[in-house]
C-alpha cells in the first residue's frame, strides 16, 4: 500500500515564492507631485534639476517621472550621463 505524499513542503515553497514576488519592488517607482502634468517644458526642466535635493531613491524616482512627462510633451530631454565608461589620460611634461 502506498502512503500519500506530504504536500506541506511543496505548499511551503509555493507560498514562500509567492510572498517573495509580492514583496519585490522593482526600480520602476515614480515620485509624482500634484500639478506636474500642467508644467511647461521649462518648468519640468527646473524640477528635474531640483530633484538632486531629494534622497537617492526619491531622486531617481522623481527624475524618471519627469523624463516620462518630458517625452509625452515632446520636450527637449536633459543630458543624461553616458553609461559607457570614458577614460581620458593626459600626460604633460
So what's the pLDDT on residue 42?
92
Establish if 20 belongs to a structural domain: no
Low-confidence spans in the chain with pLDDT less than 70: 1-11, 13-29, 80-88, 93
Task: Identify whether 32 is part of a domain.
Answer: yes
Looking at residue 31, its pLDDT comes to: 82
**Is 52 a domain residue?**
yes
The range of the structural domain enclosing residue 71 comes to 28-77
Q: How far apart are CA 41 and CA 39, in angstroms?
A: 7
**Count of domains in the chain?**
1
Measured torsion, CA atoms of residues 45, 46, 48, 53, in degrees rounded to the nearest 10: 170
- Looking at residue 68, its pLDDT comes to 92
Global model pTM greater than 0.85: no
| Rounded Cα gap, residues 73 and 38, in angstroms | 10
Amino acid at each position: 500500500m502506498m502512503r500519500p505524499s506530504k504536500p506541506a513542503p511543496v505548499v511551503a515553497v509555493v507560498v514562500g515564492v509567492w510572498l517573495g514576488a509580492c514583496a519585490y519592488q522593482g526600480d520602476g517607482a515614480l515620485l509624482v507631485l500634484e500639478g506636474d502634468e500642467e508644467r511647461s517644458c521649462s518648468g519640468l526642466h527646473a524640477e528635474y534639476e531640483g530633484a538632486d535635493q531629494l534622497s537617492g531613491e526619491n531622486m531617481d524616482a522623481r527624475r524618471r517621472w519627469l523624463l516620462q512627462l518630458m517625452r509625452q510633451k515632446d520636450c527637449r530631454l536633459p543630458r543624461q550621463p553616458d553609461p559607457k565608461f570614458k577614460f581620458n589620460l593626459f600626460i604633460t611634461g
